[in-house]
A = this chain, B = another copy of it.
Amino acid sequence: MLAQIKPSAAEKKRLHDASTALISRIEKLAEDCGLNLKVMLVGSAARGTWLAGDYDLDIFLGVGVEDDLEKALQLARRISPDHREKYAEHPYVQARIDGFEVDLVPCYLVDDAAHLRSAVDRTPFHNRYVMQRIAGLEDEVLLLKQFMKGTGVYGSELKVGGFSGYLAELLVLCYGSFAAVIEAASLWKPGLRLDLEGLGRVEQADPLVMVDPVDPERNVAAALTLNRMLQFALAARTFMTRPDLEFFFSNPPAPLSDREIEALMEERGTLPLLIEFAAPDVVEDVLYPQLRKAESSVKALLERKGFSILRSDVISYGNRAALLLEMEVWRLSPACRREGPPVWQADHITRFLAAHSQILSGPYIKDGRVVVEEKRRYAQAADLLTAELDRLSLGRHISASIRSGYKIYAGKELLAIKDDGYRIFLAEYYRARCIRPDAT
């Protein structure tokens, strides 16, 4: 099994040669323009913990003074014409070079992790910490990372909310092997605290705290959500009972066909509502929190008005994004109840009754309050959304996108969208399976 995930000798040589050549080229360019630059290969490529088939290089361009940061960025732009500028906390360049995906990240060189100027400055410290300790455990890291990939919990980006590569490495250092991590994780509960160096001053109430050994106030697992942590724990428990290669290599589902979607809708009898709009031009770590915020605002609106939602999710595909709401109740009776003030608040009652003059029944008294029954404004969930969506708090970029146009697809109208990414999302949505139920 390891053979499948461990880079071959040829692959290792290719990565070594490519990174060495690239670093020399960058050093030469820096020298030419008199820029004092420390060029560093960091990340899994540097530590020998990359998975076979990954062609990612993280190259950090360390500078000593602020003015040189911008020069380092300019230099990074010149490495390859095939590049995009990205932005995390600082701008960096993502380039395609010799078949590798290369991140060229300017950072400050600081002498102590306690004096960081930005989050990227921490990476060289992480690199050093792991490199000094990981020798002999690289395969354990590879197994753990692949297990995390296969069970859908790998990746600390906000879209996933899972485990970072660094966190996986620290877990191996902490427990000693892949098998030991699995065994420990199978019993995990939220509130767990791990501290390799026993220096921790982390105060957060995160579900898992892994004290960063190079910066003891920081939780390495800060981006890990409760559900991903427990998904990993459940997968570990299941794997211990019935170990299977499937845990390492999950096949993403095929895009659903029209007929499959129709069959699922028929079987479930729910009404899917898809609110679709242009994806704002921001990175996923900005987009996804806004999509989640929009999702929760829309759900709160629907539930406040008496509708109910079986489940919901968010997606971005191509240059589009969407909220999917699977409705358990999407139509309500036209008649509805409006509860007014307590009877003894005479002025409020006068105003309440004046504001509700077209009544079907009442006014009557219930639990001490005046109540009337009147026609509901929106008896269909889709009508409510159409009327109120642009008044909701959806996140800055999504609000702007919604204002410039959106479309609501209901039920079989969802078939109108043919995009493969969207159809795979639907397959995953309907399956919604984080473990095989027969395996526990």
Contact = CB atoms under 8 A, between A and B. Distances in A.
Contacts of A342: 230
A294 interface: no
A360 B227 contact: no
Contacts of A349: 234, 440
Contacts of A431: 361
B234 A368 contact: no
Nearest to A328: B333
A231 B344 CA distance: 10
B234 A435 contact: no
Contact of A233 (B227, B237, B343): B343
Interface in A325-340: 327-329, 332-337
A233 B433 contact: no
B226 A367 contact: yes
A359 interface: yes
Contacts of A364: 432-434
A270 B333 contact: yes
A4 interface: no
Interface stretch (A85-93, A171-179, A216-224, A304-312): A304-312
Given A328-B332, A344-B187, A344-B188, A437 B267 contact: no
B310 A335 contact: yes
Contacts of A343: 230-231, 233-234
B433 A363 contact: yes
Given A230-B344, A327-B333, A432-B362, A350 B440 contact: yes
Interface in A235-272: 237, 267-271
A430 interface: yes
A160 interface: no
Nearest to A357: B437
By secondary structure, the A interface counts as mixed
A437 B335 contact: no
A268 B361 CA distance: 10
A268 B332 CA distance: 10
Q: How many copies does the complex hold?
A: 2
Contact of A269 (B187, B379, B430): B379
Interface string A338-379: 000011101001100100010111111111101011000001
Contact of A267 (B268, B360, B379, B440): B360
A349 B269 CA distance: 27
Nearest to A309: B337
A189 interface: yes
A28 to B, nearest CB: 51
Contacts of A188: 344
A310 B368 contact: no
Contacts of A432: 361-362, 364, 373
A30 B362 CA distance: 54
Contacts of A227: 365-368
Contacts of A333: 268-271, 310, 327-329
A190 interface: yes
Interface in A257-292: 267-271
12 contacts: A189-B344, A230-B368, A237-B346, A267-B335, A268-B333, A268-B334, A306-B329, A328-B333, A362-B432, A362-B434, A363-B434, A364-B432
Given A268-B333, A362-B433, 7 more contacts: A230-B365, A306-B308, A310-B336, A310-B373, A327-B333, A364-B434, A373-B432
